[in-house]
C-alpha cells in the first residue's frame, strides 16, 4: 500500500504534553502502544537518500514494514503487512520479504539483503480527529532517552499548517524545529558512538 503522508510535528516538554492531554480529556481517543524497529544498510544508504525504513509492531500483535521516501510535499509511505514470524526472521538476519517495500528499495538501488536493524523506539500514542486531520500525542522511549511530541496528520498542507499553528498558539506551546523520529533515533545512535 502506498499513501502520501503530510504531517506537522513539534517536540513538547512534559508540561506541554500534559497540558494537551488535559485540554482534550473529554475527546474520545484511541490509545496505541507501538514499537518502531529502525532499519538501514550498515553504511546508512537510506538515510543518505533522506528515506526511513521501519518495522512497526503493535500491542495488538499486528506488524508492518514501512519505507518513507521524500515527495515535493510530505513523504510517500510504502507499507507491507508482516506476519510476526517474518519480523522475527528479519531481525535474525533474513532478507526482507519480496513485497512492495522490497521493490521500492531495489528502485532506489538498495539491495534488501543489505538491510540490518539498528534499534527500537517505544511509543505510547494517543490519537483523535481534530479539525481537518488527526492529532497525535506521542510519548517515546529510545536509547535511554525520552521525548514528547505532537503530530498533526492532514491531507491538505496549507490548511493543516494553519490549524496546527492555531493549536500551538491557543495552548501557548513553544514552536520548535522537530526532526522525524527516525532522524532523532539515528542522531542519538551517532552521538552515543
Q: Which position has the grid cell 543489505?
A: 114
Beta bridge partners of 135: 128, 152
Radius of gyration from C-alpha coordinates of the chain: 17
20 closest CA partner among 127, 94, 104 = 127
CA separation for the pair 112, 100 (Å, rounded): 12
Which 8-state DSSP code applies to residue 74? Answer: S
H or E element in which residue 9 lies: strand 2-12
DSSP H helical ranges for the chain: 14-23, 45-48, 84-91, 100-107, 157-170, 181-192
Chain segment 57-105, per-residue pLDDT in tens: 999 999 999 999 999 999 999 999 999 999 999 999 999 999 999 999 9
Total number of domains constituting the chain: 1
CATH number at residue 118: 2.40.320.10
Assigned C-alpha cell, 173: 506551546
Selection from 101, 104, 84 nearest residue 92 by Cα: 84
What is the rounded average pLDDT of the residues 119-141? 97
Q: pLDDT category, 191, cuts 50, 70, 90?
A: confident
Quote the domain boundaries for residue 21: 2-192
Amino acid at each position: 500500500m502506498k499513501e502520501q503522508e503530510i504531517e506537522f510535528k513539534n517536540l513538547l516538554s512534559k508540561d506541554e504534553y500534559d497540558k494537551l492531554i488535559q485540554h482534550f480529556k473529554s475527546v474520545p481517543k484511541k490509545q496505541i502502544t507501538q514499537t518502531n524497529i529502525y532499519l538501514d544498510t550498515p553504511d546508512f544508504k537510506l538515510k543518505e537518500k533522506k528515506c526511513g525504513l521501519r518495522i512497526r509492531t503493535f500491542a495488538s500483535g499486528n506488524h508492518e514494514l514501512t519505507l518513507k521516501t521524500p515527495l515535493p510535499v510530505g513523504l510517500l509511505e510504502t507499507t507491507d503487512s508482516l506476519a510476526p514470524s517474518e519480523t522475527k526472521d528479519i531481525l535474525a538476519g533474513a532478507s526482507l520479504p519480496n513485497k512492495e517495500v522490497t521493490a521500492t528499495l531495489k528502485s532506489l538501488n538498495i539491495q534488501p539483503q543489505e538491510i540490518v536493524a539498528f534499534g527500537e523506539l517505544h511509543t505510547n500514542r494517543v490519537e483523535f480527529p481534530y479539525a481537518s486531520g488527526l492529532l497525535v500525542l506521542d510519548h517515546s522511549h529510545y536509547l535511554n532517552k525520552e521525548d514528547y511530541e505532537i503530530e498533526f496528520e492532514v491531507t491538505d498542507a496549507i490548511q493543516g499548517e494553519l490549524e496546527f499553528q492555531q493549536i500551538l498558539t491557543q495552548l501557548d506551546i513553544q514552536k520548535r524545529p522537530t526532526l522525524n523520529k527516525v532522524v532523532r533515533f539515528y542522531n542519538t545512535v551517532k552521538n552515543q558512538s
